[in-house]
């Protein structure tokens, strides 16, 4: 291969495609779970339904959405913890789980995950230093090497390895356990980490500490994050770009400033409008939308948000809106008939031009 | 609250409440001398992190803590009754009648084997008597009040058949069924999605106003408190460290813990800078440090903080802080 040497001399030797090559490309990912309804009829939970997006090297992509929107299923699909029905993953230019690409094992050496429940994701019968050392051991390090890695990683996440290493998970606080989970995820030097509601269960003062830690680790290990959260304030703080999901579909995707200052999709607008101003003099008097998200079992036809959308019209029930054309990392795209002047929605012209 | 002095009626008065959980291995000092008053018709938010004693305070008030291993001291006076000395029968009349409670997880708080309608009917008949038909009419009325769509049908639904938001509305309906004078809400919106959370908050605020209920609302979320509270009491390690009108506490917090909590709450921060987190973690309630419990994490600690628990000072009208630093600054200002 003839590649121009880059001036950047601390370039990751595992970086095969170069800076312009996205670290992860997800195309047409789909996962339906077969279930039975209460009267025994077969049905499908459309957890992730035709999702495509790109994660660039060194960025933090935030994923937001309410419970049941498929964000955790998405994370598990990316890790191949569950098998997708359809869709391809391309990690740094190589197809995952494909004959001419990389294996799932190779993927997992470069992609790791931190879960929400810091306790149930650690082995309760193992001192936490062994949990951290387990990954390196499995991936071919000797016992001594793995121990050394564990010690180093615990230090890097702010835990004294001599004090905390020998402890069992139940002897640690929630914040400390989550630090251990982060150390474990980083112990095999991944290039990308999926953080699935990783700070959601923590108290505010501890959450802030862990967010600072995550930012610092990202800088020192040149990591790429997929940050899944229901907390819009946290996503706004930590993300470079944001992907908004609703009932298994991407409804909006774009740079964080665009999403938070100029949201296009009525659902994103409602999500942002549901946030407290933190000012008792400016309380919300009316909820932006009413009702709960519908069940992902047999979701509404057409646009899945139409049952709660104040602008819904006939076209929204008849046709599923497609995501507008995505070009590059500056693109701000949305799946809404109002944004497409050809859709036939009466507000399409007004909104589409805006 | 506009600051004018209104003729108010004391609904709840908690004096020097102490709750300890005693086991063979250790004694957990969950609540350590809490004083609280709630007037009729006012919303008090207890703000605190896990382990601060906010839920234990509510449970002590409802007498829900296991009698065998709980030591409760102090005095709780609710609408003229001494709660801690009530006998079983009076206690049953109090719970659900005079005071009722909404929990964080409606799925575990509701009985899974009865329909939500049946559970409300049972509560209504227990406290008010009357026929099954009247109680069902009351239940329907309540479902309409909490804005449950197709209420008639939903009365016959089991808890698992309802969405999270509807379950929480059903629990609110049950809590309000006998028009309590005091409503206790323990993180009732925490488990709900963002777009549903704000609906339930606005509903609760409206019902509270219309029914004139005194309310204690426990939360860890400053945003939730700013939406619903008249007053905020900030708890740390089983003590109220700061208390005052909602705008005072949020705009002008005095206690270093409240200040730290506000700084570490992510809300439109500079994306380039770290969040000003409070270092360390809350103390072990089995081994509380001497003096001020926040001292080990406090950047502004004085020598006195190590020796004694700070006594309340009032930096502004109705605004209390338990902090030697605040007291010292007030002294300088005087």
CATH of A24-275+293-353, one of 2.40.50.140, 3.40.50.300, 3.10.20.30, 3.90.230.10: 3.40.50.300
A217 chain-B contacts, CB cut-off 8 A: none
A225 chain-B contacts, CB cut-off 8 A: none
Q: Chain A, 244-263: which have a CB under 8 Å from a chain B CB?
A: 256
Interface test with A, best of B218, B275, B281 (most A CBs within 10 A): B275
- Cα–Cα distance for residue pair B126/B113, rounded to 1 Å: 19
* CA A243 from centre of chain: 8
Per-residue pLDDT of chain A (354 residues; tens, 9 = 90+): 455 554 454 567 778 778 889 999 999 999 999 988 778 888 889 999 999 999 999 999 999 998 888 999 999 999 999 999 999 999 999 999 988 999 999 999 999 999 988 889 999 999 999 999 999 999 899 999 999 999 999 999 999 999 999 999 999 988 899 999 999 999 999 999 999 999 888 888 889 999 999 999 999 999 999 999 988 999 999 999 999 999 999 999 999 999 999 999 999 999 999 998 888 899 988 888 888 888 888 889 999 999 999 999 999 999 999 999 888 889 999 999 999 888 888 888 665 444
pLDDT of the residue at A278? 87
- Cα–Cα distance for residue pair B48/B194, rounded to 1 Å: 20
The β-bridge partners of B316 are B319
Chain B positions with Cβ closer than 8 Å to A: 49-50, 149, 163-166, 193-199, 201-202, 220, 222-224, 226-227, 229, 246-247, 250, 260-261, 263-269, 271, 274-279, 281-282
CB-count exposure of residue B40 (10 Å: 0-12, 13-18, 19+): middle
Q: Please give the residue of chain B at the shortest CA–CA distance from A68.
A: B193
Minimum-distance CB partner of B264 among A174, A205, A308? A205
Q: Indicate yes or no: CB of B247 within 8 angstroms of CB of A233.
A: no
Q: Indicate yes or no: CB of B261 within 8 angstroms of CB of A212.
A: no
Chain B nearest-CA distance from A141, in A, is 33
pLDDT of the residue at B1? 45
What's the angle, vertex CA A325, arms to CA A335 and CA A20, rounded to 5? 125
A175 chain-B contacts, CB cut-off 8 A: 281
Domain boundaries, chain A: 24-275+293-353
CB B227 within 8 A of CB B219: no
pLDDT of the residue at A350? 65
Question: Is A9 near chain B, with CB under 8 Å?
Answer: no
Q: Chain A, 290-309: which have a CB under 8 Å from a chain B CB?
A: 290-293, 295, 308
Residue B225: helix, strand or coil by DSSP?
helix
pLDDT of the residue at B3? 44
pLDDT tens digit string along B275-311?
Answer: 888 888 888 899 999 999 999 999 999 999 999 999 9
Nearest to B48 by CA among B328, B333, B293: B293
CB-count exposure of residue B311 (10 Å: 0-12, 13-18, 19+): exposed
The model's confidence at residue B2, banded by pLDDT at 50, 70 and 90, is very low
* CA B212 from centre of chain: 17
Q: Please give the residue of chain A at the shortest CA–CA distance from B161.
A: A38
Q: Which helix (H) or strand (E) holds B36?
A: strand B27-39
B282 chain-A contacts, CB cut-off 8 A: 203
- Cα–Cα distance for residue pair B190/A87, rounded to 1 Å: 35
Q: Please give the residue of chain B at the shortest CA–CA distance from A64.
A: B194
Q: Indicate yes or no: CB of A206 within 8 angstroms of CB of B281.
A: yes
Three-state SS sequence of chain A? CCCCCCCCCCCCCCCCCCCCCCCEEEEEEEEEEEEECCCCCEEEEEEEEEEEEEECCCCEEEEECCCCCCHHHHHHHHCCCCCCCEEEEEECCEEECCCCCECHHHHHHHEEEECCCCCCCCCCCCCHHHHHHHHHHHCCCCHHHHHHHHHHHHHHCCCCHHHHCCCCHHHCCHHHHHHHHHHHHHCCCCCEEEEECCCCCCCHHHHHHHHHHHHHHHHHHCCEEEEEECCHHHHHHHCCEEEEEECCEEEEEEEHHHHHHCCCCHHHHHHHHCCCCCCHHHCCCCCCCCCCCCCCECCCCCCCCCCCCCCCCHHHHHCCCCCCCCCCCCCCEECCHHHCCCCCCCCHHHHHHC
What is the set of domains in chain B, with CATH numbers?
A: 10-98+180-266+276-333 (3.40.50.300)
Nearest-10 crossing angle of helices A174-186, A128-138: 20
The β-bridge partners of A49 are A30
Q: Please give the residue of chain B at the shortest CA–CA distance from A233.
A: B267
ipTM of the complex: 0.84
CB A181 within 8 A of CB A210: no
CB atoms within 10 A of CB A150: 27
Interface test with A, best of B189, B198, B221 (most A CBs within 10 A): B198
């Amino acid at each position: 291969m003839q590649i121009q040497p880059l001036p950047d001399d601390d370039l990751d030797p595992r970086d095969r495609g170069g800076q312009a090559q996205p670290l992860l490309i997800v195309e047409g990912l789909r996962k339906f779970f077969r279930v039975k309804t209460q009267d025994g009829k077969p049905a499908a939970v459309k957890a992730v339904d035709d999702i495509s997006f790109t994660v660039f090297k060194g960025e933090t992509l935030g994923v937001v959405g309410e419970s049941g929107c498929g964000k955790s299923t998405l994370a598990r699909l990316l890790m191949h913890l569950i098998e997708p029905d359809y869709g391809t993953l391309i990690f740094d230019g190589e197809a995952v789980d494909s004959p001419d690409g990389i294996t799932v094992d190779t993927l997992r050496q470069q992609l790791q995950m931190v879960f929400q429940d810091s306790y149930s994701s650690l082995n309760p019968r193992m001192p936490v230093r062994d949990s951290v050392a387990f990954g390196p051991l499995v991936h071919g390090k000797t016992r001594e090497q793995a121990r050394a890695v564990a010690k180093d990683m615990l230090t890097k996440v702010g835990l004294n390895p001599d004090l905390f290493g020998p402890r069992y998970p139940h002897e640690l606080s929630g914040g400390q356990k989550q630090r251990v989970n982060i150390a474990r995820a980083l112990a095999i030097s991944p290039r990308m980490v999926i953080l699935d509601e990783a700070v959601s269960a923590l108290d505010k003062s501890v959450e802030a500490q862990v967010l600072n830690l995550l930012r610092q680790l990202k800088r020192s290990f040149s990591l790429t994050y997929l940050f899944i959260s229901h907390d819009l304030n946290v996503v706004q703080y930590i993300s470079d770009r944001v992907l908004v999901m609703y009932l298994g579909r991407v409804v909006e995707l774009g740079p964080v400033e665009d999403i938070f200052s100029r949201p296009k999709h009525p659902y994103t607008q409602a999500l942002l409008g549901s946030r407290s101003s933190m000012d008792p003099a400016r309380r919300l008097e009316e909820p932006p939308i009413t009702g709960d998200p519908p069940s992902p079992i047999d979701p509404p036809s057409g646009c899945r948000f139409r049952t709660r959308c104040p602008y819904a019209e006939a076209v929204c029930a008849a046709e599923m809106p497609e995501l507008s054309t995505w070009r590059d990392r500056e693109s701000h795209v949305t799946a809404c008939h109002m944004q497409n002047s050809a859709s036939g929605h009466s507000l399409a012209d007004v909104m589409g031009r805006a | 609250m506009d600051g004018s002095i209104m003729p108010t009626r004391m609904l709840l008065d908690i004096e020097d409440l102490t709750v300890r959980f005693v086991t063979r291995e250790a004694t957990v000092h969950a609540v350590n001398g809490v004083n609280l008053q709630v007037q009729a018709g006012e919303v008090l938010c207890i703000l605190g992190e896990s382990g601060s004693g906010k839920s234990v305070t509510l449970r002590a008030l409802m007498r829900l803590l296991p009698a065998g291993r709980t030591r409760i001291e102090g005095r709780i006076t609710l609408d003229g009754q001494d709660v801690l000395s009530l006998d079983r029968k009076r206690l049953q009349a109090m719970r659900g009648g005079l005071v009722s409670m909404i929990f964080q997880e409606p799925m575990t708080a509701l009985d899974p084997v009865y329909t939500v309608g049946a559970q409300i009917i049972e509560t209504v008949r227990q406290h008010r008597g009357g026929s099954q038909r009247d109680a069902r009419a009351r239940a329907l009325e309540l479902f309409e009040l909490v804005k449950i769509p197709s209420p008639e049908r939903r009365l016959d639904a089991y808890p698992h058949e309802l969405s999270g938001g509807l379950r929480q509305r059903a629990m609110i309906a049950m809590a309000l069924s006998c028009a309590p004078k005091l409503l206790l809400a323990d993180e009732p919106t925490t488990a709900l999605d963002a777009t549903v959370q704000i609906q339930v908050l606005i509903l609760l605020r409206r019902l509270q106003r219309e029914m004139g209920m005194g309310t204690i609302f426990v939360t860890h979320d400053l945003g939730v408190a700013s939406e619903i509270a008249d007053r905020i009491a900030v708890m740390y390690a089983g003590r109220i460290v700061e208390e005052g009108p909602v705008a005072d506490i949020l705009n002008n917090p005095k206690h270093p813990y409240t200040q730290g909590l506000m700084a570490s709450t992510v809300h439109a921060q500079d994306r380039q800078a770290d969040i000003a987190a409070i270092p360390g973690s809350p103390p072990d309630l089995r081994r509380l440090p001497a003096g001020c419990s926040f001292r080990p994490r406090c950047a502004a600690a004085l020598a006195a903080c190590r020796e004694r628990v700070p006594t309340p000072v009032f930096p502004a009208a109705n605004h209390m802080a338990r902090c030697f630093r605040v007291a010292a600054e007030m002294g300088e200002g005087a």
